[in-house]
């Protein structure tokens, strides 16, 4: 397997754009990524298009990538449509990486795009429910909301249940979860593409509307619209261009085994494989983007990824190490909580942030001297675990 690089990135603002469809979002992200990589459409060998819920949200099935890219100049290329819940675009990136690493492509394009805002607010909720096994959906709802009083959002009820278990096990408090949101909102306030760009304090988070005890509104990610794209290329292709690429040290995907309590969580399995492939460990990381669909997820995933010992995630947050200016900032983009969560675009957006950090162009969010970054992107739910996880490790390079 040969060395593979990210040559360019593109990302749209994230937000609720009621009058904007998937196509213009995808076109903007792709155009910016190609320009950043000094690549023309004729240079692209393969395209992998990540979208999670277009069929349920707007009725477009089967050929979502071909439709979204119809006016981009990419038709005629192999276009592979990738659907893997919230891990759709990181899965698309995984495939692009494999295509270039195996020598089947010199330049591949990984795209994530999602249009979730809808006049019918029940549609996004139903689309997210479809990321669980529908045969067990009622049993899942009964398990995570034993009194039967669910919120109507199965994933927020799920995070609520997980948060309560984590509090009982570790002694974490609601205030600790709120501190995650304060940290994320501060980073998002400095990110020009973030959906929420205002600093908040602890009291504002704690007194925002209760969604699912103990999770308040400001502890939750928000649905939205957006797109992100990455140009993946061989070392030889990068060397022919005056660009500053980022090396893909590892990209590992695993599916969850939530029916078997003896297996490690899927995020742990994917991260262990990624660390082994990259030849680095958690202690080497400069910056991390992880899947904080709700504030408690930062604590749980920090432990599952080996960023700290079990039960030590709250202490890690309180140390300041994971804040902007710390030795290993977590979610300097603002994370899903602040940047927003257009589900099919989220994984690619994490990688855009890491690439910016490793190229020293993250502005006020910049992690000083960032050399190695990790992204974890989860998706769906099966049994007692996420259905999928992709962990990618990137490394800084010198200019080609």
Positive or negative CA dihedral for 207, 211, 216, 218? negative
Residues near 152 by Cβ (< 8 Å), separated by ≥ 6? Answer: 125
Q: Which of 186, 308, 341, 400 is catalytic?
A: 341
Task: Detail the DSSP E strand segments found in the chain.
Answer: 4-11, 46-50, 79-82, 107-115, 210-212, 215-216, 225-234, 246-255, 287-289, 372-379, 388-396
Active site residue 220: no
Cα–Cα distance between 390 and 98 in angstroms, integer?
13
CA distances in angstroms from 195 to 192, 200, 238, 309, listed in the order given: 9, 14, 32, 32
> d(Cα 8, Cα 153) in Å, to the nearest integer?
36
Query: Would you say 248 and 232 are in contact if contact means Cβ atoms under 8 Å apart?
Result: yes
Q: Of the residues 62, 86, 97, 251, which is catalytic?
A: 86
The C-alpha atoms of residue 314 and residue 335 are separated, in whole angstroms, by 17
CA distances from 208 to 185, 219, 295 (A): 14, 9, 14
Tokens 């995907």, located at residue: 253
* DSSP letter assigned to residue 35: H
- 62 is a catalytic site residue: no
List the one residue out of 71, 359, 375 whose CA is nearest residue 238: 359
**Count helices and strands in the chain by DSSP H and E runs:** 15, 11
Instruction: Give the start-end residues of each E strand in 12-151.
Output: 46-50, 79-82, 107-115
Residue 190, phi-psi category: left (phi > 0), alpha (psi -120 to 50), beta (remainder): alpha
Report yes or no: 156 and 212 within 8 Å, Cβ to Cβ.
yes
Active site residues: 86, 341
């Amino acid at each position: 397997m040969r060395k593979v690089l990210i040559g360019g990135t593109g990302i749209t603002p994230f937000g609720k754009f009621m009058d904007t469809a998937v196509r213009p979002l995808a076109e903007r992200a792709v155009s910016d990524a190609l320009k950043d990589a000094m690549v023309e459409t004729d240079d692209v060998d393969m395209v992998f298009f990540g979208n999670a819920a277009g069929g349920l949200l707007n009725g477009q099935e089967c050929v979502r990538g071909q439709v979204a890219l119809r006016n981009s100049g990419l038709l005629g290329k192999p276009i592979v449509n990738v659907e893997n819940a919230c891990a759709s675009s990181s899965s698309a990136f995984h495939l692009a990486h494999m295509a270039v690493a195996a020598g089947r492509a010199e330049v591949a394009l990984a795209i994530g795009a999602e249009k979730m805002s809808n006049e019918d607010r029940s549609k996004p909720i139903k689309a997210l429910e479809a990321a669980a096994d529908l045969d067990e959906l009622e049993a899942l709802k009964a398990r995570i909301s034993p009194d039967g009083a669910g919120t109507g959002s199965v994933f927020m009820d799920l995070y609520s249940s997980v948060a309560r278990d984590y509090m009982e096990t570790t002694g974490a408090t609601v205030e600790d979860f709120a501190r995650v949101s304060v940290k994320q909102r501060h980073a998002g306030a400095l990110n020009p593409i973030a959906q929420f760009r205002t600093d908040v304090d602890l009291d504002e988070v704690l007194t925002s509307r209760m969604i699912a005890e103990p999770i308040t509104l400001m502890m939750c990610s928000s649905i939205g619209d957006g797109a992100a794209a990455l140009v993946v290329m061989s070392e030889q292709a990068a060397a022919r261009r005056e660009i500053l690429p980022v090396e893909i040290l590892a990209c590992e995907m695993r599916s969850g085994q939530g029916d078997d309590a003896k297996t490690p969580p899927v995020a742990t399995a994917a991260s262990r494989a990624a660390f082994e492939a990259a030849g680095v460990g958690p202690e080497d990381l400069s910056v991390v983007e992880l899947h904080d669909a709700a504030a408690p997820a930062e604590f749980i995933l920090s432990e599952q990824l080996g960023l700290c010992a079990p039960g030590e995630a709250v202490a890690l947050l309180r140390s300041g190490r994971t804040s902007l200016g710390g030795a290993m900032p977590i979610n300097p983009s603002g994370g899903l909580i602040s940047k927003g969560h257009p589900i099919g675009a989220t994984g690619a957006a994490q990688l855009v942030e890491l690439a910016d950090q490793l190229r020293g162009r993250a502005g006020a969010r910049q992690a000083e001297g960032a050399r190695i970054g990790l992204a974890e992107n989860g998706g769906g739910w099966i049994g007692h675990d996420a259905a999928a996880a992709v962990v990618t490790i990137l490394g800084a390079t010198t200019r080609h």
